[in-house]
Amino acid sequence: MEELLAFINSFQPLDQETEKAIKNLFKEESYKKNEVIIKEKQICQKIYFIKSGSVRRFFYNDGEEITKWIYTDHQFITSLSSFFEQKPSFELFQACEDTILYSLSHTDEQILLEYPLFSKFYIKLLRIYLSKLNEFHHFYKSMNAQDKYFYLLNSFPPIIAKSKLKHIASLIGVSQETLSRIRSSIN
């Protein structure tokens, strides 16, 4: 739980009462490699913080898995529209390796939002995530496959280190063969 509290305190210093509530409401969960955490067509009831491990966000397009992102240690994950609007998820989240998460239920999230310091943290976190998401989509969409790979390699090295080649290839929108050529051109 210390990783989660340190992460939150880095955005918004907390008092003891808020820290105690966080410790009481977040629950530790473990997932084995390839285990699905958030299922497609089901309402996502939790938001998660990755203590250790990695998680892939993907969806199916004509039976093919399309990787949208890979999350690593000390990141929050959830199916945003499903969790916040309580509607069925159009995406899946799967552990890429044995993974330990801290989960917060939708109901308990509402309780924590009554704590002003947690609420301030949440607003700061959401603003940063939305800003980074906007920036990412702006630049990433205009990159070619090699530039996307270099971007991931330089900005998100844990994704490259922890992920299967087929998931990285899907994330940058190329075949595994093309990704192999990109990687060999670096060496």
* 165 found inside a domain: yes
Q: In angstroms, what CA-CA distances link 24 with 29, 40, 51, 109?
A: 14, 29, 16, 12
pLDDT of residue 187: 66
* 133 found inside a domain: no
CATH number at residue 85: 2.60.120.10
- Phi, psi at 178, each rounded to 5°: -65, -40
pLDDT of residue 49: 96
6 and 83 together in one domain: yes
Residues of the chain with pLDDT under 70: 187
pTM of the model: 0.85
Residue 150 structural domain: 143-186
pLDDT of residue 30: 97
Strands 36-38 and 99-105: unpaired
Number of independent structural domains in the chain: 2
* 132 found inside a domain: no
85 and 160 together in one domain: no
Angle at 35 between CA 104 and CA 50, to 5 degrees: 40
pLDDT of residue 8: 94
pLDDT of residue 161: 87
pLDDT of residue 107: 96
pLDDT of residue 163: 87
pLDDT of residue 41: 94
117 and 158 together in one domain: no
Strands 36-38 and 92-95: antiparallel
80 and 31 together in one domain: yes
pLDDT of residue 136: 77
DSSP string covering 48-108: EEEEES-EEEEEEETTEEEEEEEE-TT-EE--HHHHHHT-B-SSEEEESSSEEEEEEEHHH
Count other Cβ atoms within 10 Å, centred on residue 12.
17
53 and 14 together in one domain: yes
* 11 found inside a domain: yes
